[in-house]
Structure 1
Amino acid sequence: MTSDVRLRIALPVIILAQLFGTSLWFSINGVWLSLSSEQGFTEADLGAFTLAVQLGFIIGTLSLALTGLADRYKASMIFCISSLFGALVNALFILAVDHFMLAWLLRLLTGLCLAGIYPMGMKLVISWVPKYAGSALSWLLAMLTLGTALPHLMRGFTLGLGWQAPLFTASVLAVLGGITVGALGCGPHLPATARRAALSQGLSALKIPNFRSVAGGYFGHCWELYAFWMLVPLLVVRPVTESNWSLSSIPWLSFALIGIGALGCLAGGWLSRAIGGFAVARFALISSGLLCLIYPLLTVLPPFVLLVVLMLWGITVIADSPQFSALAAQVAPADNVGSSLAVMNAVGFALTVPAIWLVSYSWPVLNEWVSWLLLPGPLLGLLAMSKFDKEKRHDNT
């Protein structure tokens, strides 16, 4: 394959592989109704499995930064191996479901593998199309969003089959994604290795005021995002039951309300060309924060209105993510972009753990009012972003 052909197909290959690989992330959540019915799992168990993935992702990203793998080895190789191993441990969950601790451990390992998919996907995009990082990362995060929603869609298509079918399908997709990225390889626009790859190199980016400001905004975004995605199947129960719809509509609605965030990512990427990624990220964080605040007050409204509000929330909760990633890549030290992004991801995802724990364990008591527990994320993120200096955004690249 010639270099020109690889350049033309690089972005489509990476974003499709990201879609396939990240279908592992919420593969359990997509079949939750069946699992809870057959295995007797509770909302707290759903939170525990979701937390396992998040913890695995944190351990994985920190390991990448600590060992220097993110900058010492090819991102395409890490992506490929992580996808293949992630597919394996996801499929093994089917056999281990009767043994809670073993199943939990397999979800932890799934998160560990995702650490080699999501951050490395960002680095691969930057290595191929650095001039269009904001727009390209919008596509990448759109695929992450669709990948998160994909298990719900697969469950909708397989309602006549056991919950094992969509889980196994996610593993097959991850294998395909890993193989295609492995064949593609890395682009020419990032150094193949760092001069001194270590956790300290990734942490050193936090000494840069603009990187710290962008990272702070991202941290607040992370507090809200994954807890909201976990809540979606629970939030749609009210409008579904009040509309007298079948519970079989929940997977379809969950896919729609999470997956529509892909449009938010793409619209944000398009807007970033006109008003800049920083403005897009700030507007999205303000919007999703307002929805955290007002949603419990809107539950008295008709079911259709609630679904529209959830749709808007699904769009705005993720629209800022690609812009944070692009901004962070721009202001991070150029020879340690991988480690810097790995550290930022690790800290951000560490914050998803208490958020998910709070909302999953508080849901039986608070129901929709748990959205107020997500509000500190957008508020503190906006506070951090207020210290961003646009005049110095390129000083450290």
Structure 2
Amino acid sequence: MIQAHVPRHILPVLVLAQFAGTSPWFAVNAVMPDLQRELGWANAAVGALTSSLQLGFIIGTLVFALLAIADRFSARRVFLICALASAACTVGAWAMVRNYEALMAWRFATGFFLAGIYPVGMKIAAQWYTKGLGGALGLLIGALVVGSASAHALRALGDALPWPTLMLGVASLAAAGGLLLFFATHDAPNVHAKVSTLQWRALASLWTDSRVRASVLGYFGHMWELYTMWVMVPLILATRLQGAALSWTAFLILGAGALGCAIGGWVAQRWGSARVAGVQLSLSGLCCLATPWMLGAGDAIFYAWLVLWGITVAGDSPQFSTLTARNAPPQAVGSVLTLTNSIGFAISIASILLFVSLSETVPLSSLLPWLAIGPALGLWALSPLLRDEFRPPPVRVSA
């Protein structure tokens, strides 16, 4: 259970701030159909702009991790500065949206500053919730999942809301998230003293510590599948739907991942994070393998399959972060989580580019089962932690 001394408002504030702070991630994607119609951009522009932001995030997380930003400075202050900076970059993108090269640069910068929001928010949660961290991160990352899915909801509302309103609204939301976290919370008690030097040995724990290595490699397998599945969902739905119906259904399927995060976090407090991650990783892998049969199934089975996939493909993420945060060196939790994010998102970009390019020539029924490679390798990597949780505690013999 979550320890009693944590003020009740901390978790709701963290969840709201994380959702608001990461909202610029999806701003341009949500308005791209309007921009394409108005400016005549090709479909490839969507992928290029998405990749630009992802690349900025990867570079940002790498820089933040190597410089130990989240461990050398106040995590709340880092979150605030990066939220305000990403909001400013979104305003810059709005102001120069008709200049494609400038827009690419603004999106790269937005991704860079998001590196000080997503992993730093997890570090703040880890500082407060030394117990019940799986439940806290379940809600925290669940908010990020809903934010990811919101691009489809915004796209469905595109006819009702002009794109400048959406972009400026997202910028305001990001700034509000940073201010909310900074002024509505305070530093957790008994926080490990900030480090004054770079933590190279702590970062190396990703490879040298068997428990950290197990959770990190499991997370990498999860990332091979996650974002590629999200990108492919509209293509899958396009076999049966179009227009606003497609966008709303995609929003519901991707947003269902928040249930996997929240319920998985609740169960993990009683069952263990490794077991919850292992079950969800197994189910999402089976969903990948079931693609050839599900694509031709009736509507009820087809949509149930996609909802189950949406729930499980994202639901294991908080538990991987929980395991990593618990086992990482205490003085470098923020840096280890940030470096893990950096490598994980690099893997996701490679997977997205590979599967999107192959989808032009390979049928989805033959292509999507190969996503199961990630869950399979992730389960193999996670096996030491699974064995630990399934191993019964030693029996104490009284004298």
Q: What TM-score comes out, normalization by structure 1 length? A: 0.90
1:266 is aligned to 2:262: yes
> In structure 2, how many angstroms separate the alpha carbons of the residues matched to 1:210 and 1:342?
17
Q: Which has the larger radius of gyration?
A: 2
1:164 is aligned to 2:164: yes
Give the letter for the 1:73 counterpart. Answer: F
> In structure 1, how many angstroms separate the alpha carbons of the residues matched to 2:390 and 2:77?
34
> In structure 1, how many angstroms separate the alpha carbons of the residues matched to 2:278 and 2:41?
38
Give the letter for the 2:372 counterpart. Answer: L
> In structure 2, how many angstroms separate the alpha carbons of the residues matched to 1:208 and 1:261?
30
Instruction: Work out whether residues 199 and 339 of structure 1, in 8 Å CA contact, stay in contact via their aligned partners in 2.
Output: no
The aligned residue for residue 326 of structure 1 is 322
> In structure 2, how many angstroms separate the alpha carbons of the residues matched to 1:282 and 1:5?
31
Instruction: Work out whether residues 199 and 332 of structure 2, in 8 Å CA contact, stay in contact via their aligned partners in 1.
Output: no
Instruction: Give deviations 1:326-380, integer Å, cap 9, x for gaps.
Output: 1111111111111111111111111111011112323333353442342221121
Give the letter for the 2:251 counterpart. Answer: F
Compared CA separation, residues 106 and 116, structure 1 to 2 (3 A): same
1:100 positional shift: 2.6
The aligned residue for residue 133 of structure 1 is 133
> In structure 2, how many angstroms separate the alpha carbons of the residues matched to 1:237 and 1:176?
36
Compared CA separation, residues 54 and 199, structure 1 to 2 (3 A): farther
The match for 1:375 among 369, 372, 383 is 372
> In structure 1, how many angstroms separate the alpha carbons of the residues matched to 2:190 and 2:344?
26
Which deviates the most, 248-257 or 277-286?
248-257
Q: CA RMSD in A?
A: 2.3
Q: Secondary structure of 2:290's match?
A: helix
Instruction: Work out whether residues 83 and 113 of structure 2, in 8 Å CA contact, stay in contact via their aligned partners in 1.
Output: yes
Instruction: Give deviations 1:263-288, integer Å, cap 9, x for gaps.
Output: 11011012112221101101111111
> In structure 2, how many angstroms separate the alpha carbons of the residues matched to 1:23 and 1:340?
24
> In structure 1, how many angstroms separate the alpha carbons of the residues matched to 2:257 and 2:250?
12
1:148 positional shift: 1.1
Identity rate, percent:
38
Instruction: Work out whether residues 259 and 311 of structure 2, in 8 Å CA contact, stay in contact via their aligned partners in 1.
Output: yes
> In structure 1, how many angstroms separate the alpha carbons of the residues matched to 2:165 and 2:244?
16
Q: Which runs of 5+ in 2 are unaligned?
A: 392-399
Instruction: Work out whether residues 30 and 155 of structure 1, in 8 Å CA contact, stay in contact via their aligned partners in 2.
Output: yes
Instruction: Work out whether residues 240 and 303 of structure 1, in 8 Å CA contact, stay in contact via their aligned partners in 2.
Output: no
Compared CA separation, residues 147 and 192, structure 1 to 2 (3 A): farther
Compared CA separation, residues 78 and 130, structure 1 to 2 (3 A): same
1:314 positional shift: 0.8
1:205 positional shift: 4.0
Q: What TM-score comes out, normalization by structure 2 length? A: 0.89
Instruction: Give deviations 1:158-178, integer Å, cap 9, x for gaps.
Output: 422333332222211111101
Which deviates the most, 364-373 or 56-65?
364-373
Instruction: Work out whether residues 71 and 338 of structure 1, in 8 Å CA contact, stay in contact via their aligned partners in 2.
Output: yes
The aligned residue for residue 191 of structure 1 is 192
Instruction: Give deviations 1:242-283, integer Å, cap 9, x for gaps.
Output: xxxxx1223322221111111110110121122211011011
The aligned residue for residue 52 of structure 1 is 52
1:361 is aligned to 2:357: yes
